[in-house]
Amino acid sequence: PRRQPARRRTATYATVPVAVAALLGAAGPTAPGTTGAPGAGDPYFPLSGNGGYDVRHYDLTLGYDTGSRRLDGTAQLTARATRNLTRFDLDLKGLTVTAVTVDRTKAAFRRDGQELVVTPRHTLRRGREFRVTVAYHGTPKPVTDPDGAADGWIPTDDGAFVAGEPQGAMTWFPANGHPRDKASYDFTITVPKGRTAVANGVLLGERTAHGRTTFRWRETQPMAAYLATATIGKFQVERYTTRDGLQVYNAVDAREARAAAPVLKKLPSVLEWESRLFGPYPFRAAGSVVDHAPDVGYALETQTRPLYDSAPDLDTLVHESAHQWFGDSVSLTAWKDIWLNEGFATYAEWLYAEQHGGPNAQKTFDALYARPASDELWAYPPGDPGSGKHIFGTPVYARGAMALHELRRAVGDRDFVRILRAWATGHRGGHGTTAQFVRLAEEKSGKQLKGLFHTWLYTQGKPNSA
């Protein structure tokens, strides 16, 4: 049978251009459509991400001159329209855009704050896959987050520390920058010879010509934009394959090498321990980037390959590794649920200590619980830390972990581990919300747990412990 032409809403769009489009048949230049939203609808970061399409794949070709700090980029995004689109946004802050094409046809574009607004020649039909290419260059600068931290492309003395949580991806590539939209990535990064460019996933190849080296990286598993990296520096590189067949790639700044070595040696055993607890490691590649970036002040769980601003201690390695399950594989749907990342990664540290000759989790809980009511720990509830200012504060990490400990006490060790595993496995490569976690915990334990979570995640002040 003949395929039905796309539904034309001529009744509601009884305008001349639509009539013309109808005459033309296919989605002509004036077919009915809507403009994509400038944000994904997250109240914490209203302009983060965009509406109207879904990115499937990013192909990023970058050249960075560590001397002048100039970045030259071409980003090719493969996306699918989720509605008829006459126009759509990408997140991009700073930098100069020289050309945009949609399906190889030149597209009109303009800049509006952190939005790159693209108007393709033809309306993009809902459900259709399309390809956007953006050519850009400039000197990338990090953004300052509401908590005062620098986020994004952060220049260092020998390259750049590239971490994007929560909104820094837009400082170095045009992105649909909300974790709700995950995609696979290819990176081709060219740097001066002697520098190493490290991204996510597996290293496909490395080639030096005319004094410059090009590194090709590929992450095939869905990844949120904030977890992408292209960290550049003078690194010592170590590569090996674990017993489980994981490809490990560690890049370490020489100034951090001595302090990092004993901790990095534990990476395979930490990942094995976490795999036994949380279920199979969600990715194919692993490793670390240990940079020397004293001004940064944090580490990030960049997918497959956490990024440290200095040699990490074992707790931090355990924490960033646990994020591979909680945060990277199972992503946030909304930033207010950030405790699903930070509370879980912190509780992994407690469990690791408990099972490796340190204090048990109850003891860690008790020490925190003993803090006075005036302590920062009780300053706000972790389940909705507000506006972004407190998004990475102590309550999110420590009280978030305390909430999990209370859950463990309520359901017992067996069910607690079953719940964690079911969470990691059931939402693997996808997303989760706090409400879904609570439902899962109730399902697996057969207990009423809404009260417990309400107390620990959403009430103001120091809760009563059971």
Chain residues binding ligand ARG by CB under 6 A are: 145, 147, 149, 151, 165, 298-301, 319-320, 323, 342, 392
Strands (E), 228-313: 231-233, 235-241, 247-253, 285-290, 307-308
- DSSP type of residue 240: E
By beta-carbon proximity to ligand ARG, the closer residue of 147 and 354 is: 147
Residue 364 C-beta: closest distance to ligand ARG, Å? 17
Residue 394 C-beta: closest distance to Zn ion, Å? 12
Query: What's CA 176's distance to the chain center, in Å?
Result: 11
Which of Zn ion, ligand ARG, none binds 298 (CB below 5-8 Å, type-dependent)?
A: ligand ARG
By beta-carbon proximity to ligand ARG, the closer residue of 291 and 320 is: 320
By beta-carbon proximity to ligand ARG, the closer residue of 91 and 165 is: 165
* Structure-block tokens of residue 337: 């649920």
Which of Zn ion, ligand ARG, none binds 399 (CB below 5-8 Å, type-dependent)?
A: none
By beta-carbon proximity to ligand ARG, the closer residue of 159 and 327 is: 327
By beta-carbon proximity to ligand ARG, the closer residue of 308 and 378 is: 308
Burial (CB < 10 A; 0-12, 13-18, 19+), residue 60, is buried
Helix (H) or strand (E) run with residue 338 in it: none
In degrees, rounded to 5, the angle at the alpha carbon of residue 67 between the alpha carbons of residues 64 and 69 is: 50
Residue 344 C-beta: closest distance to ligand ARG, Å? 11
CA-based Rg of the chain, rounded to a whole angstrom? 23
In contact, 387 and 145? CB cutoff 8 Å: no
Tell which phi-psi region holds residue 392, choosing left (phi > 0), alpha (psi between -120 and 50) or beta.
alpha
Residue 165 C-beta: closest distance to ligand ARG, Å? 5
Which of Zn ion, ligand ARG, none binds 392 (CB below 5-8 Å, type-dependent)?
A: ligand ARG
By beta-carbon proximity to ligand ARG, the closer residue of 97 and 307 is: 307
In contact, 211 and 192? CB cutoff 8 Å: yes
Residue nearest to ligand ARG (CB): 149
By beta-carbon proximity to ligand ARG, the closer residue of 51 and 327 is: 327
* SS3 state of residue 41: coil
User: What are the distances in angstroms from CA 233 to CA 70, 197, 357?
Assistant: 15, 7, 36
Residue 267 C-beta: closest distance to ligand ARG, Å? 16
**In angstroms, rounded to a whole number, what is the distance separating the alpha carbons of residues 236 and 257?**
8
User: What are the distances in angstroms from CA 34 to CA 124, 138, 220, 327?
Assistant: 10, 32, 31, 32
Residue 65 C-beta: closest distance to Zn ion, Å? 32
Between strands 231-233 and 196-198, the pairing is: antiparallel
In contact, 275 and 424? CB cutoff 8 Å: no
* Structure-block tokens of residue 51: 């509406």
By beta-carbon proximity to ligand ARG, the closer residue of 87 and 323 is: 323
Which of Zn ion, ligand ARG, none binds 300 (CB below 5-8 Å, type-dependent)?
A: ligand ARG
Report the interface residues with Zn ion, using CB under 5 A: 342, 345
Query: What's CA 350's distance to the chain center, in Å?
Result: 24
Which of ligand ARG, Zn ion, none binds 145 (CB below 5-8 Å, type-dependent)?
A: ligand ARG
Residue 226 C-beta: closest distance to ligand ARG, Å? 9
